[in-house]
Structure 1
Amino acid sequence: MQRQYIFTKNGFYPENTGEETEDEESAEFLYDMGNIESPSKLTVSGYFLYLVSDAFFKELTRLPELEIARDKINVAPTQECIERLLNATPYAIGTEFIDEKWIRNRFSELETIFQGQIRNYKGSVAMYLAERNQSLHVPERIFLHLVESKNDDAPFAFIATYASRQSDGSVQHMPLQYALTEYRDDREKLLTLLSSLNRAAEVSPLIAELMESGEMFHTLKFTVDDAYSFLKDIEKIEETGILCRIPNWWRKKNSMLSVNVKLGEEKPSMVGFDALVSLQPSLEVDGVRLTQSEIEQLLRQTEGLAFLKGKWIEVNHEKLRKLLEEMEDIPESLSFRDAVQLEMGNDKILPDVGIVVSNGAWMSRMLLDLREPNRIRSVAVPKTLKATLRPYQKSGYSWLNYMNRLGFGACLADDMGLGKTIQVLTYLEKLRKTDKDAKVLLIVPASLIGNWQREKDKFVPAMNSVILHGRPSTKLAEEAKEELPFLTITTYAMAAKIEPLKEKEWDCLILDEAQAIKNPTTKQTREIKKMKSKMRIAMTGTPIENDLTNLWSLFDFLNHGLLGASKEFHEFCKGLEEHPEKYAKLKSMISPFMLRRVKTDKNIISDLPEKVEMLDYAALSRKQTVLYRKAVSDMEKRVLEAEGIERRGIVLGTITKLKQICNHPDQYLGQDDYSPADSGKFALLKELCETIYEKRERVIVFTQFKEITEYLAEYLTGIFHAKGYVIHGGTPVKRRTEIVEKFQGERYVPFIVLSVKAAGTGLNLTKANHVIHFDRWWNPAVENQATDRAFRIGQTKDVMVHKFVSKGTIEEKIDAIINSKKELAENVIGSGGEKWITDLNNEELFSLLRLEE
């Protein structure tokens, strides 16, 4: 099985596949990655690590002093190397941590390993490298330099240097003439040093001439022709092992003289993906535009080097004529969709030879606004919103309005817990207030309907809505034919079945947990993509990490055609293996349409509390509903005939039964099937934990019932594709300690299921940054004590606390009482548990326990 790797702030680690393997020392492992013979067979995360390791060895073997410096060598990535690696950073888990500092730290680790190994190696560095990889070669100690000078007659200077060990042990680059003095008594060493120049002379007439005349040992003034002769031979000279330091403009000479096409210099007359964007081509030298007379001058000039616009360029008449011909074929305008696709280097739109595409004034400003929403002019928050938005939520709300105005689909991909729902509801409230006839369709997983209904009622209570769920699809289809309110909420399954929903043109179509359409081949995905809407919003806390097919499907829904046809995108992805730097183009292309803020970015979210608590509502399944009502009905009959201790026992026993039914019918029935479809909480648990798994974060799940812990653990193992642990009152102290140590270790252990009583004290579980209370103790002090197993000293992440509540049941009613009557929660509930419920009269008791629709 191909191994994925998870990137962290301080490095990376291999994803746990469930196999029992020893932990790999990440730095040692990265050091060995450079020896892999078939890197293309690696996963994208593994291939990136190979690129880092390979880049280190390439930089190492570009140091002429390597053989004599040995363990004193210093290997730092060049800025060009860093940019190349950053551009090649793929979509993978944790790549938001990869920056210049991350790359420099990996190089530092690899340098330390090399120094340690070569220090104890008896042979030469060349032998050491050859044993590791036959393609690695120690460079020659001689280095050739060509630099620009200010002499008009000889505008270049040439010098040969060599790496020489000084008396203090350091290594310096000395002019080659000093070698004649250093080795005057050791002719063999001198000949060995100069032998590389003999090989270079065989491939370069200029080097041969300098060797024959003896001028190689002096600093030389080079004319333009001398410099051009040398530069043309650079590639062949470096193949002999001699490295050359030359002006950067020659290394990138293919982009020096180019046709530059400015996209969208002025704002188009209309917006959207079909808007026509102007194209303004020009011939440029390193970004500086040439006049017609300058172009004619180049055509008259002899081929070679020319100094133009303050820059040296290579004059190549054939290439110049080809560029001018291509300029003639460039259209006056393109659709915005095609213009954005140029980011991917789509040569079907414009030829890719010698053409550089850059954004004009309007295009640059617009794309920058989309990528940095805090630049967008803020939109007033509707006064009817019953909430105060955080600064980043306001910018997200303004961004959604801006995207709507431009006619683009938007992917709101904020991290879990940052309030995607409130941002979308604020946007919808603004739409409702400005367009009285607007109609919105919201598609969500069935397990999240309760949460959306509660959030809507809490923050935008005036927003009229209907939920198309929980009834036969034929009946729902009849309801959908009627005049619908502003907001229609349904599930993915029902959206694909209810035909009238597909026939309407919506003002806005929203997908929550939009990864539900990541597979473009499923019928559900195809049916939802057929729906017509003016604006489309996709919400997901886990933008695509490893499978770019998922990314294509998401954007095919949002902005059809942006990433081309499926086959075209597949071909582009295949090309990433050979040209991983194109990941940067892909990210640049989609970043304007995806807003992603993460909890770890304190620059954006400086006021986020360290602990975020939220209620998550689960709908009862049909089986749960039937059992719940029967349990309450049975209790009512018995309570009417009982008094005192007997009545109290009936009530407390029924409360326990109702809690069990809310968890899963099989817990109440004493069965061991535990089908996820029979429990709303199991469905909700899956929705949450799939997101947690996508980010490879860790979770603690609390329950007060020991008998359900193993079933929860088995269910979570399937979601996380790896085993976790269970701790309850029966877990021996020694085993508890072992579990905690493994959970707190570096190897990924995704979850622990704990009974609340067993987890009351003595456990430090700070590796978890998610806490789920699967069922409730109705005692805030007990729940907080359990939560603090994760939220305590040593916790470096923000902790997300989810409290599950079964909608319409005693769980929701008790939670409302606790939140509205703090004194009752602290004094009565906190001290007496559930006994206070037994003191209610029959009418109050029945009202509390009965199921509400």
Structure 2
Amino acid sequence: MGPDDVEWVREFSEPELKRVFGASTYFRGKGYFDAGHVRDLTVAPDELGALVTGSGRHVYEVEVTRSGRRLDNWCSCPMGRSCKHVAAVMLAARARLRQRPASTTWESQLAHLIKLGDASATAGRALALEFSVPTLHYGAAVSRITLQPLREGARTPWVKTGASWGDITQPWRAAELNPAHRAALAQLHLLSPDNAYSYGVPATVDLASLGPLAWPLLRRAVSAGVVLLAGEGLRSVRIGDDSATVALDLTRSADGGITARPRVSLVDPDAPGRVLLFGNPAHGVGQLDGGALTLWPLAAPPAEGLDRLLADGKAVEIPAEDVNRFLTLYYPALARTGAVSTSDGTVEAPEIVPPVLHLTLTHLPGHVTHLRWGFAYPSPVAGQGPTVVPLAHAAGDPPRDVPVERRLTEAVVALLSVVGASLLEATPRPVLIAHHELQGMAAAAFLADVLPHLLEAGVQVQEEGDAVAYEEASEAPVVLLTADDTEDRDWFNLHITVSVDGQEVPFEELFRALAAGDDALLLDSGTWFRLDIPELQDLRRLIEEARELTDGSPNGPLRIGPYQAALWEELVELGVIARQSKRWLASVERLLPDADRPAPALPDGIRATLRPYQLRGYEWLAALWDARLGGVLADDMGLGKTLQTLALLERAREAGELDGTPVLVVAPASVVGTWADEAAKFAPGLNVAVITATGKRRGDTVAAAVAGAHVVVTSYTLMRLEDAEYRALQWSGLILDEAQFVKNHRSRTYQAARRLGAPFTLAITGTPLENSLMDLWSMLSLSAPGLFPRPDHFTERFRKPIENERDLLALETLRRRIKPFVLRRTKREVVQELPEKIEQVQRVELTPAHRRVYDKYLHRERQRVLGMLEDMDRNRVAIFRALTKLRQLALDPVLVDAEHASGAPSAKVAALVEQVTELAAEGHRALVFSSFTGYLKLVREALSEAGISHVYLDGHTRDRPARIAAFREGEDPVFLISLKAGGFGLTLTEADYVFVLDPWWNPAAESQAIDRTHRIGQTRSVNVYRMVSEDTIEEKVVALQERKRDLFTSVIDSGSFSSGAITAADIRGLFDE
């Protein structure tokens, strides 16, 4: 024992030993030590060993190892460890330490350095690996060998204690073991399935379960010094240096057959003993000869079934008559795995022909081609063609080259992904469809476009049946059009014929293909042509539109009327007119532009000089009248729409067309008198009857009131109230002035106009579209009823695409359709001498008191309105009532609640009074508009207090003409007008300033009011001020107006567009902060 061998025992004092073992065990061990029961004490670095005589004279072996400040110990007594016997040995070691003086400091330090430098001194206990073959496992196809670690013992060569797999894999339990040995075996154990368990680790591991990675680790353990021990059933163990292979060895038998016997390289086939395989699939092989076991890793797992043949030790006998089948079908499969050899050279290896991808095409009548995929293998019968097997594998198949099949299909799938994706199953990883049927154009396209690529890629193709010679048409399709008379004079039968290369195309088949979005159409002859050309796509759109004019059914007849002149013109652009009836030709020619057609002369009875654009308007009206078709005269305000219409009526009078059948003019009550005045002034030859009261007040019938008249003028209200009487009369025509009054096609006024049944209807309006495209539809459904017969079709084809989806194609189509029936000119286009109109927004800041009231109401109304937007249709009235309240609050809180009266005018009224005072002093005159009469009255009071004279007009004013005349003929500088009362029927060019006190939802109504002064006859620039209260709902309304102006411009003035109807999103935007 060296000087420092037992020094470490000093670290475990008697108090420390009491703590480690517990007081009871410690004192019982001390009794054993005091009684001299410890003998044969041996000491090694960090280790103790001894024999202890226990009760009953049993002798127990004790081993103690220090691991840092911990004692790892083992005893052969039933306790196993940390018992009284171990405590006795520790006390004996301490007693021996006391028998010699403690080593000096320098000796202890030098001994420690020597220990660090001497690897053998710190190598720890060596490890061994014991191999055993359990007796019960002999005879299995795959053998079982168990591995168990052992360690070098203090008194015997190898012991199991302290060297279990659990000890090796947990370093704190294996500090006394050789680190290199422990690391090598710990890595080996990581491969074991038992490694997943943190407790109850089995004492042995199965070599088969470790897999192929075990072999390099076993060799590394041997290199590190781990000893291989022979355990149960063995007398020696060795691991060979090379890797073995397992193959089927072929030899010729005497009768010409073949004997196939499994053979393991490196193993002497003539040596006695058994050959063992390890693993599933096998990764190792061993030869067991009289208890001597030699092990080799396998270079590759043996082919399926070879392990059983090897275990059985049997050979496969192939009769002579089956040798060709074996060599053709089975040998290639065995050769691909490397599992075949011929040790004596008696069997000649055949040439291996790989399979090819095979496609069978079966051509059936009706342009049907059936595709069937498979693989072609060489036939096992000499002289026969290849054997075709299906894509899917099935029981009983001969051996197949799966890797080659996979590569072939993957290559073709990659090709078809580019040129023929429809032949692939739409899965996350596309695969070939084993059986597939192509019909019509799909079959033609496959044969023309895809098949050449497959042949080039090496696919073997076999065709059955008669193939059709498909070819693309050499010429573009020719469209022939025919329009024939029907019994209904308002409609004509439309026939469309399409032919390619002299072959007529079945129309319904063509239309179905176009509607389905097909790329091409195949004819019975095999000729096909492309459908994705613009002309045919336009034809499909036009046909759909024509069908919607009648019942809209896919197979219904095609009919068009004179109102479809623009549609016919587009059809003519696509094809050739084969035939058209005289009546149809006459109807269409009146509407389509024709420079050679003479213009109608201006009637002699007109007492006015028409401007050039007014003459063109008169000519357009005359063409519609002659064709008995209606339209919409939508010229800008102030361009003389009434004069152009009077010229038309005078022409009809002079032609005798109004004798006994007058024209009915319906207008707002405020402008009924204006029509009579204008007629007397410009067409005095017209006998005009004016109806301004109901029959009860007049004391006669409508028939009596209009007797002898050429023109009858009445209001919308009176026409609606006496609807039946008006319908009972014959009319030459119906003229609807300010036709926005009938924009709601569900209203009684609209229905009364619709039922009148006049052969000619003209809608006159400067604003044919105010809120939605349905405004325009309503007017056209009265004036051009055959143009868009059904509102639901119009909504789906035009309103939704244009307003909601910004569909440019739908917008352009709508413009083309309405072009012959809607005439609109703006002042900027036709009146060069009209002075400038300057518009600006003037923002006015609320007073602090006004702001507090507004904000309080805003917070309350915002929560309420946003909650109602979930069902806007149901809550529409309540929502707009709340918005109206906020608009009034933005003007003056007193409009909502009298208790907010402050005695002082609102900031906007004060700003207005200040400006008009200055304007009046400079000789200017102003129109002041508001949509709230209550606010106008507040303005009137403020102007009176400021001493500014003014004229007032709202919807309740009885002496309207007198008020208008008072402003026009007088010198009052201000005319206060409610927006609705002054929106039409007024010419007030005497004013050159306009103030709009509150923005209105409908920008068209606002524009109409402003144009009371900016019209023909105005000689001065017109300044328009839109007064807007800052940070209120008014600013949001102004932004909303711009969007609605866009819709009007897009459809009527051919500009860019946006949607028009107020939506829930618009209202939410009004409350954005």
TM-score by length of 1: 0.39
More helix by proportion, 1 or 2? 1
Q: Which has the higher contact order (CA 8 A, sep 6+)?
A: 1
More strand by proportion, 1 or 2? 2
TM-score by length of 2: 0.32
Could you say which structure has the larger radius of gyration?
2
